[in-house]
Amino acid sequence: MANAFRHHVWIIDTASATNLVNAAEGLIAFDSVRWVVQAAGVATDRAEIADGDGNVIWEAVNEGGTAQFEVESFSPVMVRGLRVPTLDRGKLYLYHSANRL
């Protein structure tokens, strides 16, 4: 599956050092992240989300190894541009109430 951008959730399965969403498209607000590490996960698997300038705004490490569900909810984070520079395994789900502000 390729990255999928749906109304309330973006599903990211491919890391990219370049922007998945460009800063010129406006602010992006999201309020929770779910990282699903597949059954073949290992303890060193990492995932990172960065803004359009490459500043890491969320990161996680699969400390337990094997399959893992990492869920984090927070006050809405607003970024200009979005990239996922590191996604060793699995999929990231970014949830938001509106695509762009």
- Quick: pLDDT tens for 26-71: 788 888 999 998 777 788 899 999 999 999 999 998 887 767 777 8
Domains of the chain with CATH codes: 4-95 (2.60.120)
Closest CA to 36 of 95, 90, 72: 90
- pTM for the model stands at 0.83
